[in-house]
């Protein structure tokens, strides 16, 4: 089980937090056939298998082997026709009929006002709206009015890589990352502000995203000595040296859990967090400590 820091629990209770949900959260979902969403390596390998030119296919596979997922995706998009690429994205993130898991319910019940996600699917926001009486706004990085939600009191899901509803505007390849930074720099300015005012909790997310890396590193060195943000990680992915690097260069404190039994400890820990946050909110309300 994860030992949730008291300061973090209070930040979430006071709605001074941002839950940041990565692909690892979506992988808990399953469809009627018991299939789970593919991980990025599996999905990119699937795209590579559709490329008919052997040389191009091996080029993509080499990038995957080397861990260069952004270039692998860039090349797969280049070597497949636009219609095939779009069809495969829609099939993976929409048509497979994945259903939310209990962890989606519990994350919604944590009731963080701000939730960010790199996920294209709609698993979290659909479930959150079902549980929160359709009171959750959903905004994308490219929405012209996205800044308006930051100072309101409404619950918001911020889709920082776009949504499967608009596949052409998802951020999936190396060039799409660069274009988003160029054309939507104001959104990244908003994110920088949140790193100053709110505590981030990364769940199911790696730190391979170049934009998130840069934002965290910039914040860590610009504001040395501030309270940390948090990343939830399985113990088998956490090496002592890597944890020190995360702490020193990104001001990230790792919260570790045992990944056995299909990451059951993570699901149990999130369920326990719901109770801790509810108790903290009652204490805050009793003392008017908002």
So what's the pLDDT on residue 241? 82
Total-model pTM = 0.93
φ, ψ of residue 204 in degrees (nearest 5): 65, 20
CATH class of 6-29+99-287: alpha beta
Start-to-end C-alpha separation, the chain: 29
Q: Tell me, what's the pLDDT at 242?
A: 86
Cα–Cα distance, 89 to 143 (Å, whole number): 21
Helix 40-49 to helix 54-65 angle (10° resolution) is 170
Among 184, 205, 28, 201, smallest CA distance to 119 is for 205
Per-residue confidence (pLDDT) for residue 95, from 0 to 100 = 86
Query: Cα–Cα distance between 116 and 120 in angstroms, integer?
Result: 11
CA dist., res. 241 & res. 185, Å (int): 33
Per-residue b or e along 198-228, where b marks 16 or more CB atoms closer than 10 Å to that residue's CB: bbbbbbbbbbebebbeebbeebbeeeeeeeb
pLDDT values of the chain reduced to their tens digit, one per residue, 290 residues? 899 999 999 999 999 999 999 998 998 999 999 999 998 899 999 999 999 999 999 999 999 999 999 999 999 999 998 899 999 999 999 988 999 999 999 999 999 999 999 999 999 999 999 999 999 999 999 999 999 999 899 999 999 999 999 999 999 899 999 999 999 999 999 999 999 999 999 999 988 888 899 999 999 999 999 999 999 999 887 777 889 999 999 999 999 999 888 788 999 999 999 999 999 999 999 987 77
Match 């908002």 to its residue by tokens: 290
What per-residue confidence (pLDDT) applies to 127? 96
CB atoms within 10 A of CB 167: 18
List pLDDT tens digits, range 145-168: 999 999 899 999 999 999 999 999
Query: Which two structure tokens, joined as six digits, stand for 285?
Result: 């309300």
Tell me the average pLDDT of the chain: 93
- Give the pair of three-digit tokens for residue 248: 């020193």
Give me the pLDDT at residue 208, please.
Answer: 81
* pLDDT value of position 236: 84
**Hey, what are 59's tokens?**
């080029």
Q: Do 136 and 117 meet the contact criterion of CB atoms below 8 Å apart?
A: no
CA distance 64 to 83: 23
Alpha-carbon gap, residue 266 to 277, rounded angstroms: 16
Looking at residue 288, its pLDDT comes to 78
Alpha helices in 50-173 (DSSP H): 54-65, 69-79, 82-90, 102-110, 123-131
In angstroms, rounded to a whole number, what is the distance separating the alpha carbons of residues 215 and 282? 34
Domain with CATH 3.40.50.1220 in the chain: 6-29+99-287
């Amino acid at each position: 089980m994860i030992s949730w820091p008291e300061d973090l629990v209070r930040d979430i209770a006071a709605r001074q937090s941002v839950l940041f949900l990565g692909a690892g959260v979506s992988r808990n979902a399953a469809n009627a056939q018991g299939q789970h969403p593919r991980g990025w390596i599996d999905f990119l390998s699937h795209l590579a298998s559709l490329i008919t030119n052997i040389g191009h296919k091996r080029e993509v596979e080499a990038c995957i082997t080397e861990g260069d997922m952004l270039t692998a995706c860039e090349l797969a998009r280049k070597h497949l026709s636009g219609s095939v690429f779009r069809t495969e994205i829609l099939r993976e993130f929409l048509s497979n009929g994945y259903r939310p898991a209990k962890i989606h319910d519990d994350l919604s019940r944590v009731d963080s006002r701000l939730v960010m996600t790199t996920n294209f699917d709609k698993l979290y926001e659909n479930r959150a709206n079902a549980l929160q009486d359709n009171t959750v706004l959903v905004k994308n990085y490219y929405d012209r009015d996205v800044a308006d939600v930051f100072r309101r009191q409404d619950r918001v899901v911020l889709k920082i890589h776009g949504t499967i509803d608009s596949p052409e505007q998802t951020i999936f390849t190396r060039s799409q990352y660069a274009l988003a930074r160029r054309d939507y720099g104001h959104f990244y300015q908003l994110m920088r502000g949140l790193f100053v005012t709110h505590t981030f909790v990364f769940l199911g997310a790696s730190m391979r995203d170049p934009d998130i890396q840069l934002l965290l590193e910039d914040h860590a060195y610009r504001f040395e000595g501030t309270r940390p943000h948090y990343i939830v990680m399985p113990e088998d992915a956490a090496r002592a040296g890597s944890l020190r690097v995360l702490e020193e260069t990104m001001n990230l404190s790792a919260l570790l859990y045992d990944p056995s039994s299909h990451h059951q400890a993570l699901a149990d820990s999130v369920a326990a967090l719901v109770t801790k946050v509810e108790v903290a909110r009652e204490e805050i309300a009793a003392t008017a400590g908002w």
